[in-house]
Structure 1
Amino acid sequence: MLTIDQLSLQLPLYASWWKRDWATCLDEFSLTVFPGEVHAVVGASGAGKSLLAYAIMGLLPTPARLNGQLYYQGKPLNASRQRQLRGRELALIPQSLSALDPLVRTQRQVTWAAQRAGQPSAHAWHASQQALDHYQLDARAQQAYAHELSGGMARRVLTAMAHVSQAKLVIADEPSVGLDPHQRQRVLDALRELANQGKSVILITHDLRHALPIADRVTIMRDGKLVETAPACAFQDSGASLTNAYSQALWLALPDNAFATTAISRREQEAHVA
């Protein structure tokens, strides 16, 4: 579905008024995402996860320097093709809930998403209602404004917008941030369901623990680089099947693994020595 080949990204960094440097945000990053899978991209803040999503969608700022290749369904995903497919076959569920229009009711916004994907007006309205019902948003929520929705409801509205677009590739950027456990699970289950329908889902998150139950594969990022890609089942017990010390340390540091920070320190030292 999607192939990322040696993708590098630099953004301008102004050390002073008259001097411009370039910060490397993605460094020869390669990844393949298959149909029907949830592929979790996990890393700390500043690892480059969201910039990776913007690069795939063609939403980087103008001064950005982007090298490498993107392929979607076997064909180059260049700027013109990104514009053509964005909102149709490529959908982004953004991290910020400010992506919802504060002056437009929920169902109208989902209807607009369906229309942007090429559905006729009458069918788009019906499709939006079906999608909102599917994600368990009742009649009151469907007629609410963005500020009247809970965080979980707003995330499900954004997921419904991706759903009606009939996108084949869905990128969810930190979809569970700030949600209580119940709402978080409903949002993650919705993403898993999209993958079960044959779509490719990229789940961008800093929280490995919440990604694992729905992910098929996990890519660990650090400082703009790919550390390791492994099946989700590799993250169990002591993480012995993981090949990278940082991935193992990240797994062992989770609360379920008793915050094994001593293991992090030891493995980091071993990695630096190597």
Structure 2
Amino acid sequence: MAEVRGMPDEEMQMSRRLIKLERECRRLRERYEISLELADRETELRKAAEKERREKEIELDQVVGAIAKAIDAKDEDTNGHSVRVAGYSRMIAAGMGLGRKMIEHIYQAALLHDVGKVGVPDAVLKKPGRLTGGEFDIIRKHTLMGGEILGAIKSVPYIAEGALYHHERWDGRGYPQGLSGEAIPLTGRIIAIADVYDAMQSRRCYKEGMSRRQALAEIRQGAGTQFDPEIVEVFCQCISSACGGAEDGFV
């Protein structure tokens, strides 16, 4: 009799448990559906953000490229210099195993490394003969002017490093700040090599351009004094690799 009388209570308890489980399952299902909606929304937002980022990168590349062309057009003798230096700088950065973003940062900074020359008078910039001490001081200021111009672009702070530091030397005898060794930002150390290498090969109204072999020999000679020796080694290896081992054949 006790067992018979106890059955309804057990059934009732079971029924309550089932109702509770059903409600819990419903809540879990609702939460799951909400999480799916949030995941879909997050995916959409991520795609939209990535699209916006790519569009801004393309926009920045276009602006940087246009400015670089304007810089090179200021002096016919150096036309194309910024693009070549940027190409060498990108090659070095890739050879050092840097990440994609850093490689592109260095490339853009290299494109604009001479932007400060827009403030240098043509009479000084295009002078065919030897510069006087005063004229050289004016030329030296293009690093500070470039750093100031590009430093105003707060959204891309890295971009000023190439303009400001590409004439610093590993031994501390460069300008404008006389930094030495690894105190010189990496971007400046990389662009310094690319800049000098291209300048040595380029023909000017006051000089003939060096051969690639001669220019590479000069770069090697400057390792440890003018240039970061480790980056010089990477650069030379990259040039050799690009030439298939024949440095004079590099294009």
The answer to whether TM tops 0.5 is: no
Which structure has the greater CA radius of gyration? 2
Higher relative contact order (CA 8 A, sep 6+): 1
TM-score (ref. length: structure 1):
0.25
TM-score (ref. length: structure 2):
0.27
Higher fraction of strand: 1
